[in-house]
Chain A
Amino acid sequence: MDKTANILLCGVGGQGILLASEIISSALMNAGYDVKQSEVHGMAQRGGSVISHIRFGKKVYSPLIEPGSADIVVSFEMLEALRYLPYMNKKTRVIVNTQKILPAPVATGIDTYPQDILDRLRQRGLAVFPVDAFETAKSMGETRAVNMILVGALSAFLSLDEKVFLQVITGRIPEKIRKVNTEAFIKGRETVSALQKKKTKQLRSN
Chain B
Amino acid sequence: MGKMKARAAVEKKVLLSGNEAIARGAYEAGVKVASAYPGTPSTEILENLCTYEGVYTEWAPNEKVALEVALGASFAGVRSLAAMKHVGLNVAADPLFTAAYTGVRGGLVIVTADDPEMHSSQNEQDNRNYAFAAKVPMLEPADAAEAKEFLKIAYRISEEFDTPVLLRTTTRVAHVKGIVTTGSVETSSVKPGIEKMPEKFVMLPSNARKRRVELEKRMARLREFAETFPENRMGWGDRGKGFITSSVSYLYVKEAFPEASLLKLGMVYPFPEKMIRDFASKVEELYIVEELDPFIELHVKAMGIRCKGKDVIPSMGELNSHIVRKAITGEATKPQFELVPIPLRPPNLCPGCPHRGIFYGLSKLGVFIAGDIGCYTLAALKPLSAMDSCICMGASIGTAFGMEKALGKDSLGKIVAVIGDSTFIHSGITGLIDIVYNKGFSTVIILDNRTTGMTGHQPNPSTGVTITGDTGTGIDIEALCRAIGIRHVYTVNPNDIEATQKIVKQEIERSEPSVIITKAPCVLLPEMKKRKDKKLYIVIPEKCTGCRTCLKLGCPAIEWAPLTPEEAKKLGYKETQKGYSRINAALCDGCGQCAPLCKFKAIIVAGEDNG
Contact = CB atoms under 8 A, between A and B. Distances in A.
Interface residues of B, number: 58
Interface residues of A, number: 55
B338 interface: yes
Given A83-B342, A108-B383, A68 B347 contact: no
A92 to B, nearest CB: 9
Contact of A86 (B178, B338, B560): B338
Contacts of A82: 340, 342
B343 A79 contact: yes
Interface string B148-191: 00000000000000000000000110011111000000000000
B558 A107 contact: yes
A61 interface: yes
Contacts of B606: none
A89 B336 contact: yes
A126 to B, nearest CB: 9
A136 interface: no
Interface string B321-358: 11000000000010111111011111111100000000
Nearest to A11: B345
Contact of B336 (A66, A68, A103): A68
B172 to A, nearest CB: 6
Contacts of B252: 61-62, 64
B551 A43 contact: no
Interface in A95-136: 102-109, 111-114, 120, 124
Contacts of B337: 68, 85-86, 88-89, 124
Contacts of B248: 63
A113 B343 contact: yes
A104 B551 CA distance: 10
Interface string A75-94: 00001101101101110000
B557 to A, nearest CB: 8
Interface string A1-24: 000000000001100000001100
Interface in A1-60: 12-13, 21-22, 25-26, 29, 34-49, 60
Contacts of B342: 79, 82-83, 114
Contacts of A111: 343-344
B562 interface: yes
Given A42-B119, A44-B119, A111-B343, A29 B348 contact: no
Contacts of A46: 347-350, 375, 378, 454
A40 B551 contact: no
Contacts of B143: 36, 63
A124 B556 CA distance: 32
B449 interface: no
Given A40-B171, A105-B344, A111-B343, A66 B321 contact: yes
A3 to B, nearest CB: 12
B178 A36 contact: yes
Contact of A42 (B320, B454, B559, B562): B454
B42 to A, nearest CB: 10
B458 to A, nearest CB: 12
Contact of A85 (B179, B340, B344, B346): B340
B231 to A, nearest CB: 17
Contacts of A40: 41, 119-120, 171, 175
Nearest to A168: B15
Nearest to B579: A109
B276 interface: no
Contact of A26 (B15, B175, B348): B15
Interface of A: 12-13, 21-22, 25-26, 29, 34-49, 60-64, 66-68, 79-80, 82-83, 85-86, 88-90, 102-109, 111-114, 120, 124, 143
Interface of B: 13, 15, 40-41, 43-44, 119-120, 143, 171-172, 175-179, 248, 251-252, 254-255, 320-322, 333, 335-340, 342-350, 375, 378, 382-383, 454-456, 548, 551, 554, 556, 558-560, 562, 579, 584, 586
**5 tightest A-B contacts by CB?**
A42-B120, A42-B40, A109-B560, A48-B347, A46-B347
